[in-house]
Amino acid sequence: MSPTKPIAIIGGGPAGLTAAAFLQRHKVPFVLYEAGPKVAGLATSFHDDDGFTYDFGAHFINNRLAAALGVGAQCRTVKYYGESVHLNGKSYGYPLGLLQSPRYVLSGISSRLNPRIHKRQFRSAATWFRASYGSALANEVALPLLEAWSGVPAAELSAAVGSEKLQNSIAQTLKFRNIGRMTGRAVACGYSHEIPENSHMWHVYPDGGVGLLCRKIAEGLESQIRLSSPVEAVWVDNNQVQAVQVNGQELPVSGVISTAPCHILSRMMRGTDRLAALAQFRYRPMMFINLRLKGRGLLKDTVVWLPGKDFTTFRVTETPISMPWLAPVGKTLITVDIGCEKGDDLWSMDDEALGESCLKDLEPLIPDIRQRYQGCRVLRASCAYPVYLNTYEDVRQRWRQTTGVEGLYTVGRNGEFSHALMEDVYWRTQRKLRGILPSNRVMSESPGATPV
Amino acid sequence: MSHSLTQSLTTPLMGAIHRPDSDRPLPLEPVTCCVCGSDDAEPLAVGEDFEYRTSPDTFLAVQCRCCGLVYLNPRPAMTTLDRIYPLDYHAFDFSAERYGLIYRVRQRLEAKRLLSACQRLGPGARLLDVGCGDGFHLKLLRQFGRSDWQLEGVDMSDRAVALGRQQGLKLHQGTIQAVDLPAHQYDLAFMIATLEHVDDPAEVIQAVRRLLKPGGELVIVTDNTDTWDFRLFGHRHWGGYHFPRHWNLFNANTVGRLAMETDLEVVKIQTIVSPVNWVYSIHNYLVDWNAASWLVKQFSLESTLSLGFFTLFDQVFQAFGHGALLRVTLRRPFEN
Ligand SMILES: Cc1cc2nc3c(=O)[nH]c(=O)nc-3n(C[C@H](O)[C@H](O)[C@H](O)COP(=O)(O)OP(=O)(O)OC[C@H]3O[C@@H](n4cnc5c(N)ncnc54)[C@H](O)[C@@H]3O)c2cc1C
Ligand SMILES: [Zn+2]
């Protein structure tokens, strides 16, 4: 990287901003281009005049990320977090409740006892889940959820969907839940993979919403951030990044760090076809229908999974069970996640009709939901979840390591095509950039001791 | 700003002290490893000011992946020292009457340790205690050492310095980098429970080095991270974190590297026994779990029983080279 031309960072979400702060600390010139009118990407909260706060799905951060960013004092401790599964008209706490059902325990145990499980290569997510959870639990709970969430049959998904994300044992989950109950802190479990979790990490929520995190990272970087400036093209010559195009203008750069979804990046590339295979990568669009309701504690738990085929949604979340301050007293908010395809009937449905269909969906859970209903607000994310299709698993694995183009790097959830949550994005982005920087730059800043 | 080896000999009664600014966050600043310069570090622990509750912040202790140094990142800005070292901070608030027996036992022990570092000193030797607080160690040296030794101390706290001066000690107020002391004049310098508090350990050691005669020695005593108490409590409650006042925490390796960086010879690295981090780890654990205050008090430094017990306990670890404190003897080389 030449020190004179700046590095262009594409995107001002958690990943792009973390990259920017890192470059700033290492005195590497950069310019960050954000397509939207403000920073934060998906890590944003919205407030309405009636005192409700809506997040883009990203509700949970832990005290470790807050401390790393120096915003611990501006975060409140989340006292309780729980999940349950609603199946055939009955609710089961997760994971303990499910384990009280003998069928699931037996199938889970017999699969665990299979000594070959750790050595096996799994052909698909379906075989991974069956081997790890047992057929009953996989077929009735895990796989239907996976399919509703991704929009494709589990047999077409890579085993990595499970194995990269769900490493926590049931024993650890139970231990953390119990410690959480005893300490009155919702111990975070399964949220971080970059750095080991421990029982002293719990969920916290920033005052005024999750946007605080990005505002904090962006402090001191303002002069290098260009808002409402989508990067339209990345120019490559001789397999080396040369320039980016922003608002029709070509700007020479020494490198590009992209957080843009990789199928979009693929289409932005000029002068190389090395990223062509990424154009087929799929992201699952998601709609978040936030139902405003009278009452509190209408769901059995903060998150309720709905694997039954009779539901349009696969997951509902009542955030005020964990974060009471997200809705006014006596009221609550239930977020209904619906996976769809851009432009399909659901995606184009107007908000009111969506709210109406959610009410119908949730009546089995909350019989008097119509009397409680006070309107809804819908958020749409066109790239909510990367879908790990088996057909491009090799390309995906390679992509996580390198883009194949000199000077082009990707970080972040959509940039790397991974299911990373914010803490992982934060540590991983820095780790990746450290690998990019010429080592002499890092060394030259060491506190060289000059003897007297 | 530092306190003495009789680290944390008191703790305020929980909730007893009102701090008007304790709900105002501190300005925090990112830092890199002060030993090797890397910023590649593994997060270890999130903690709070369990002892003094001087701010509502949470703090992150990390460990350098290159050299193993444990440090606070981000850490309070230098402008916050008045807040994170409140008036009731133990190093400023120390008296024999208050601690009776424990005080006298520790005094003896400390004196013995100090004098063991002074064996090669001749008549009229010049000694300097860097981060001397109100002069606890200097008083011991005055009481138990040779009468012709010239004893001086440096500390940032004007209150501590004023207290020590009242007792006839020759103390200088300011940082070691800033105070005006003669170069190449001192035979022996101590930094006892000081290194972990300073913002730039290498710079401080270089400043001390400049004052030492060729062949003069610097004895550093600091918390050891290569211990079982660290392993057991390092995820949050370890007493040695002393959130947010211990900014850099060493082991034999990192302190040796620091010596190399500052062009000092390592004469000896040993570990010594201390009950303090054990007692404080348990104290912090109990505070964090909202334990009853009578129980918490059993693990304060006013509790003879727990201090006695953990002194014996730590002796076992010390026998295997993992005592709670590091004691490092460095020497300024003769040639240069
Ligand atoms: C439903 C859901 C729930 C989640 N829940 C949690 C949670 O509870 N806890 C948690 O920690 N994480 C959660 N996450 C993940 C979290 O939202 C992401 O990890 C995080 O937002 C990723 O940050 P990013 O910077 O990689 O991407 P983004 O936040 O998506 O930011 C990318 C930015 O790049 C900009 N951009 C894109 N293309 C261009 C271009 N061509 N030019 C300029 N700018 C461009 C976009 O406008 C956007 O601002 C959740 C995610 C989803 C979808
Ligand atoms: Zn280091």
Domains observed in chain A: 7-42+212-281+390-441 (3.50.50.60), 83-185+282-389 (3.50.50.60)
CATH number, domain with residue B208: 3.40.50.150
Interfacial residues of B (vs A; Cβ cutoff 8 Å) = 25-26, 28, 30, 32, 34, 36-40, 42-43, 45-46, 55-60, 73-74, 183, 200, 202-203, 206, 209-210, 235-236, 261-263, 288-289, 336
pLDDT > 70? residue A228: yes
Of B37, B39, B261, the CB nearest to A25: B39
- What proportions of chain B, in percent to the nearest 5, are helix, strand and coil? 35, 20, 45
* Cα dist from A2 to A231, A242, A254, B126, whole Å: 21, 11, 6, 54
The answer to which of A101-110, A131-140, A230-239, A437-446 has the lowest mean pLDDT is A437-446
Is residue B131 in some structural domain? yes
CB contact under 8 A, B25 and A450: no
pLDDT > 70? residue A116: no
Of B34, B55, B288, the CB nearest to A73: B55
pLDDT > 60? residue A153: yes
Candidates A420, A429, A432, A427; CA nearest to A165 is A420
Name the residue with higher pLDDT: B220 or A137. Answer: B220
Q: Rounded CA gap, A3 and A39, in Å?
A: 26
Average pLDDT over residues A159-174: 78
pLDDT > 50? residue A448: no
CB contact under 8 A, A434 and B336: no
pLDDT band at B13 (very low <50, low <70, confident <90, very high): very low
Is residue B21 in some structural domain? no
pLDDT for residue A134? 86
Strand partners, A251: A244
Q: Rounded CA gap, A333 and B115, in Å?
A: 69
Q: What is the pLDDT of residues B199-230, one digit of tens each?
A: 999 999 999 999 999 999 999 999 999 999 99
Ligand 1 pocket residue status of A15, Cβ below 6 Å: yes
pLDDT for residue B2? 40
Of B25, B38, B206, the CB nearest to A73: B25
Structure token pair of residue A50:
């009636």
3-state secondary structure of B115: helix
Candidates B246, B294, B302, B259; CA nearest to B2 is B246
CB contact under 8 A, B37 and A445: yes
Is residue B180 in some structural domain? yes
Structure token pair of residue A320:
């005020």
pLDDT > 60? residue A165: yes
* Phi then psi dihedrals of residue B265, to 5 deg: -85, 140
Q: What is the pLDDT of residues A313-328, one digit of tens each?
A: 999 999 999 999 999 9
Token pair 């001191």 in the structure block, residue: A220
Q: Separation of B225 CA from ligand 2 center, angstroms?
A: 14
User: Rounded to the nearest 5 degrees, what angle is found at the Cα of A203, between the Cα atoms of A197 and A208?
Assistant: 140
| Burial of residue A422 (number of CB atoms within 10 Å: 0-12, 13-18, 19+) | buried
Residues near A437 by beta carbon (within 8 Å), at least 6 away in sequence: A26, A28
Q: Which chain A residues touch B26 with a CB distance below 8 Å? A: 73
Q: Separation of A386 CA from ligand 1 center, angstroms?
A: 12
B117 is in which domain, residue-wise?
A: 96-331
| Contact in structure between A244 and A231 (CB atoms under 8 Å) | yes
Structure token pair of residue A333:
């908010």
Q: What is the pLDDT of residues A391-424, one digit of tens each?
A: 999 999 999 889 999 999 999 999 999 989 999 9
Structure token pair of residue A423:
């803490």
Residue type, B184: H
pLDDT for residue A245? 98
pLDDT for residue B5? 32
Is residue B48 in some structural domain? no
* Ligand 1: residue whose CA is nearest its atom 50: A58
* Number of Cβ pairs < 8 A linking chain A and chain B: 79
Of A64, A198, A442, the CB nearest to B38: A442
Q: Separation of B36 CA from ligand 2 center, angstroms?
A: 4
pLDDT > 50? residue A452: no
pLDDT > 70? residue B12: no
Q: What is the DSSP letter of B239?
A: G
CA–CA min distance A59, chain B (Å): 20
Token pair 């062009």 in the structure block, residue: B263
Ligand 1 pocket residue status of A287, Cβ below 6 Å: no
Average pLDDT over residues B276-283: 95
Q: Which chain B residues touch A183 with a CB distance below 8 Å? A: 288-289
Q: What is the pLDDT of residues A279-304, one digit of tens each?
A: 999 999 999 999 999 999 999 999 99
pLDDT > 90? residue A438: no
Q: Is the dihedral of CA B209, B212, B213, B218 positive or negative?
A: negative
Number of separate domains in chain B: 1
pLDDT > 60? residue A94: yes
SS (H, E, C) chain A: CCCCCCEEEECCCHHHHHHHHHHHHCCCCEEEECCCCCCCCCCCEEECCCCCEEECCCCCEEHHHHHHHCCHHHEEECCCCCEEEEECCEEEECCHHHHCCHHHHHHHHHHHHCHHHHCCCCCCHHHHHHHHHCHHHHHHHHHHHHHHHHCCCHHHECCHHHHCCCCCCHHHHHHHHHHHHHHCCCECCCCCCCCCCCCCCEEEEECCCCHHHHHHHHCCCHHHEECCCCEEEEEEECCEEEEEEECCEEEECCEEEECCCHHHHHHHEECCCCCHHHHHCEEEEEEEEEEEEECCCCCCCCEEECCCCCCCCCEEECHHHHCHHHCCCCEEEEEEEEECCCCCHHHHCCHHHHHHHHHHHHCCCCCCHHHHEEEEEEEEEEEEEEECEHHHHHHHHHHHHCCCCECEEECCCCCCCCCCCHHHHHHHHHHHHHHHCCHHHHHHCCCCCCCC
pLDDT > 90? residue A114: no
Is residue B89 in some structural domain? no
pLDDT > 70? residue B23: yes
Containing H/E element for B220? strand B212-223
Q: Separation of B34 CA from ligand 2 center, angstroms?
A: 7
pLDDT band at A445 (very low <50, low <70, confident <90, very high): very low
CA–CA min distance B34, chain A (Å): 7
Find the radius of gyration of the CA atoms of chain B.
19
* Phi then psi dihedrals of residue A247, to 5 deg: 50, 40
Q: Separation of A42 CA from ligand 1 center, angstroms?
A: 4
**pTM: predicted TM-score of the whole model, two decimal places:** 0.93
pLDDT > 50? residue A440: no
Q: Rounded CA gap, B153 and B189, in Å?
A: 9
The answer to which of B38-47, B53-62, B70-79, B298-307 has the lowest mean pLDDT is B298-307
3-state secondary structure of B171: strand
ipTM of the complex: 0.91
* Cα dist from A289 to A286, A350, A364, B167, B312, whole Å: 10, 11, 18, 72, 62
3-state secondary structure of B325: strand
pLDDT > 60? residue A205: yes
Is residue B151 in some structural domain? yes
CB contact under 8 A, A442 and B37: yes
Ligand 1 nearest-atom number relative to CA A422? 11
DSSP letters, B117-136, are TTTT--TT-EEEEET-TTTH
pLDDT > 80? residue A107: no
pLDDT for residue A451? 34
CA–CA min distance B190, chain A (Å): 19
Is residue B255 in some structural domain? yes
Is residue B163 in some structural domain? yes
pLDDT > 90? residue A57: no
B259-292 residues labelled b (16+ CB within 10 A) or e (exposed): bebbbbebeebebbbbbbbbbbbbbbbbbbeeee
The answer to which of A205-209, A417-421, B88-92, B188-192 has the lowest mean pLDDT is B88-92
Q: What average pLDDT is seen over chain B?
A: 90
* Cα dist from B2 to A116, B6, B177, B220, B332, whole Å: 58, 11, 15, 13, 23
pLDDT > 80? residue A120: no
Q: Rounded CA gap, A347 and B116, in Å?
A: 79
Q: What is the pLDDT of residues B59-103, one digit of tens each?
A: 999 999 999 999 999 999 999 998 999 888 876 544 545 556 777
DSSP letters, B178-219, are TS---TT-EEEEEEES-GGG-S-HHHHHHHHHHHEEEEEEEE
CB contact under 8 A, A64 and B43: yes
